[in-house]
Amino acid sequence: MPALPHPLPRTGLPCPTRRLALRQCLATAALLATGAARALDAPKGKVVLSVVGQVGTTNVEGRADFDMAMLEALPQHSFTTSTPWFKEPRRFSGPLLRDVLAASGAKGTGLRAVALNDYKVEIPVDDALRHKVLMATRLDGQPMPVREKGPLFIIYPYDESADLRSERYYSRSAWQLRTLEIR
């Protein structure tokens, strides 16, 4: 593989400030609270998402697997935003990432998103709490085939803030998502 020159440096994880750490503690506590409350059913259909790692609520072999029906059972959100991958702003809908984490009882501060083609990227859990990060299941109301970057697409509300319209957040927007590793 040739070295990939990149005009812009990939940013690493942000250094947590004291406020950030506090928020993460609260978040973890919240997650723990919600996680401890409910149990998770086993998936009936084809598994589209597996949440592994430090999860409190599992349904299969120490991980939380979700099929599309389970994801669509979570509270759904949607917004329209412009993206670098589509010419025009598109409407994305699905559960909030933080709700998915809560449903799986995630106990970590960071997670790694892994896509079907083995693309990996680190996302701080704080992102899901601070922003309305969507685990999009539908594009313009329709499910996304793999060819169209489906079935799951992590979408940030880019139009909400200029900060989100940067390489850092674009790279965190993993599509063809398959696994969330909580750590």
Partner 1 sequence: MPDQRPPRRAWQRPSGWLLATGVGLVLAFAAVGWVQWRQVSLLSGTVRYEGDNLVWSFFQVESEFLQLRDQLREVQLDPVDPVRAAVTDRVRQRFELFASRLPLVAPERVAHLVNFGPEHLVTMAALDAFVRKHEVVLGEAADRPLTRQAALAALADLANLFTPIHDLTLRANQRIAENVGDRNDAVRDQVRLSMGLTVFQSVLTLAFALLTVRQFRSLVRRRRELQLVANNLQEARAEAEAASQAKSAFLANMSHELRTPFNGMLGMLALLDSDRLDAEQADYLRTARESATHLLDLLNDILDISKLESGRLDIVPHALDLHRLLRDVQALMAMAAESKGLALRVQVAPELPPWVMADGKRLKQILFNLMSNAVKFTDTGEVALTVSTRPAPADALGAEPMHELRFEVRDTGIGMNDAMRARLFQRFSQGDDSTSRRYGGTGLGLEISRSLARMMGGDITVDSKPGSGSVFTLSLDLPGARPDQLDPLTTPGELLGDHDGTAADEGEGLDLLVADDHPVNRKFLAILLRRMGHQVRLASNGAEAVALVAEQVPDLIFMDVHMPVQDGLQATRTLRAGPAPMSRVQIVALTADAFADTRQRVLDAGMNNFLSKPVQPDDIETLLTALFGARARGRRSGRADFDDSGLAPLAPDDLTAHDPHASAPVRAPSSPSALAAAAPAVPRRRFRASDVAVHLDMGVIGDLCVGVTLAGYQSVLAGFLNDESGSSANLLAALDSADTAALKQLAHAVKGASASLGLRAVQALALQIETEGASFTPDACAAAAAQLRDLLDTGRALLQRMGFSRPAA
Interface with partner 1 by CB under 8 A: which residues?
1-2, 4-8, 83-85, 116-117, 145-149, 165-167, 170, 176
Closer to partner 1 by Cβ: residue 41 or 163: 163
What is the closest distance, in whole angstroms, from the C-beta atom of residue 49 to partner 1 in the complex? 15
Burial 122-161 (b: 16+ CB within 10 A, else e): ebbbbbbbebebbbbbbbeeeebeeeebbbbbbbbbbeee
What is the closest distance, in whole angstroms, from the C-beta atom of residue 137 to partner 1 in the complex? 16
What is the closest distance, in whole angstroms, from the C-beta atom of residue 145 to partner 1 in the complex? 6
What is the closest distance, in whole angstroms, from the C-beta atom of residue 183 to partner 1 in the complex? 25
Closer to partner 1 by Cβ: residue 5 or 141: 5
Read off the tokens for 127.
């992102």
Closer to partner 1 by Cβ: residue 22 or 86: 86
Contact criterion met (CB below 8 Å) for 154 and 176: no
Closer to partner 1 by Cβ: residue 4 or 15: 4
Closer to partner 1 by Cβ: residue 101 or 114: 114
What is the closest distance, in whole angstroms, from the C-beta atom of residue 166 to partner 1 in the complex? 7
